[in-house]
Amino acid sequence: MKKIVSLLCLLTMVMSLFGTVAIADEKTKVVVWTNARHDYDYMTQKIDEFNATNTSNIEIVYEVYTDNYKQVAELGFDTGNGPDVFNTGAGVWDLALAGQALPLNDFMTDEDYAYFGGNKGIVESVNMFDGKILSLPMSISTVRLVYNKGIFAKAGIEKVPTTFAEVEAAAKQITEKLSGEGIYGFAINLKSPASALGRTLDYMMEANYGIRYGYNFKTGRYEFDKVSDIAAFLHQMFVDGSTFPGCDQLDIDPLRTQFAAGRIGMYYSYSAAEPGVYASQFPTEEEWDFAPLTTNGNPVGKQGVDAGKWWCINKDTKNPEAAWEVTKFLYSKDLLAGSYAAGLSISMLDDVINSVEAPAQVTEHPLMAKQDTDAIWPAGPKGLTLEGENYYSVFAGYILGIPGYEDLAKLCEDLNTRYNAALDKGLADGTATAAVYPNFDPMDPTGSMN
């Protein structure tokens, strides 16, 4: 009997030991959601390395959603099945702003703050709100003029155009000399006015007139009349017949296919996107490059960049410390330096940039990288309920010469009236927010904010 009892005790101890080992081996899973597929192979390799080597018993579960990412995220958050860490792309940043992001202040050290650029990278109204840091800077992108070197040479254009008048003249010259071969000077993807003018008008008004989305941070008012000559410049190329036929019915990817085929001289698009597009999505033998964003010849401000935010932690995560460790890994110098070197992202962090040689794409297209003329701008007003068409649709109507949109001055006056009325109403009832900086300097927008 004693032997039986001893055996039972021993068996119990062994089972208890196995149970303890099983519990100890159970990893803390941190679920990460993103809409970025272009770097999937690289990211999964780095995550596999992290999962195999980290000493915190953490396992990253990395999930990519390219279709309906915002809707997937909304459903996940609403049902309590959201990720621990999430990318802010495809409109998901709006969910972070609505309260879904966990403030990061208590996690960050002085070294972290310096790594992310201090008050040049952690900026009120961009990734910090009322002092609460919701996300952190990583990569950067902005708009440049994309042009075909071979077409320029064939048309006899020696100088890359930098002003409205020069772009108009170059587009006209290309079209006059080469349209017989099916080559035209300029294209803009006006099937989607927001996409087209978000790549042109929005960035041009920052550099040329010191306002963003039509809003003047000094006065706290919309002033669309100040940017009318940008619309007039784009309109003139349609009047001249210098635009690729049917580009008003093109989305950006069909436009890119025509550019890759050597049929378009110039268009505007994002510095971080186009090299990858023409390396893999639409391979081309055409020789192309970036030129600076077009100005009126007398810019008064820095050009805005898409930067300052990338990963957030879900406020409902059950493992905030583990989620922060994963977030730091996703922002780590080793991971970001590899991504930058491979041409998968354009870093805005000095520690990352200085740790590796410039990638081949940046060497080939130097204007991919952040320039002295680029800067983070404050966010424009939020929460407006506008009566009537938005400014993208109105300016697109003028650019295309649609009947009823001929009087540009009247259109701008109407936009000012409707946008300012919506702003006043939203501020009065608390549904809108808008920053005002009486000493705002478009040449130092970040300094103005902080």
Q: What is the pLDDT of residues 93-137, one digit of tens each?
A: 889 999 999 999 999 999 999 999 888 888 888 899 889 999 999
Mean pLDDT, residues 410-421 taken together: 98
**Domain map (residue ranges) of the chain:** 27-140+308-364, 143-304+380-449
CATH class of 143-304+380-449: alpha beta
Length of the chain in terms of residues written: 450
pLDDT at 125: 82
Identical fold for domains 27-140+308-364 and 143-304+380-449, yes or no, is yes
Percent of the chain having pLDDT more than 90?
73
pLDDT beyond 70 at 3 = no
Instruction: List pLDDT tens digits, range 169-196.
Output: 999 999 999 999 999 999 999 999 999 9
The listed CATH number (3.40.190.10, 3.40.30.10, 3.90.1410.10, 1.10.3860.10) that belongs to domain 27-140+308-364: 3.40.190.10
Tokens, residue 187: 């294209």
Mean pLDDT, residues 401-414 taken together: 97
> Mean pLDDT in the chain?
91
Tokens, residue 336: 């970001």
pLDDT at 24: 45
Q: Are 295 and 204 in contact (CB under 8 A)?
A: yes
pLDDT at 450: 62
How far, in whole angstroms, is CA 359 from its chain's centroid? Answer: 20
pLDDT at 20: 38
pLDDT at 21: 40
Instruction: List pLDDT tens digits, range 306-363.
Output: 888 899 999 999 999 999 999 999 999 999 999 988 878 888 898 999 999 888 888 9
Burial of 139 (C-beta count, 10 Å sphere; 0-12/13-18/19+): buried
Q: Are 274 and 103 in contact (CB under 8 A)?
A: no
- Give the residue carrying structure tokens 């436009």: 255
Percent of the chain having pLDDT more than 70?
94
The CA angle 446-447-448, to the nearest 5 degrees, is 90
pLDDT beyond 90 at 208 = yes
How far, in whole angstroms, is CA 229 from its chain's centroid? Answer: 26
pLDDT at 68: 86
pLDDT at 25: 60
Q: What is the pTM of this model?
A: 0.81
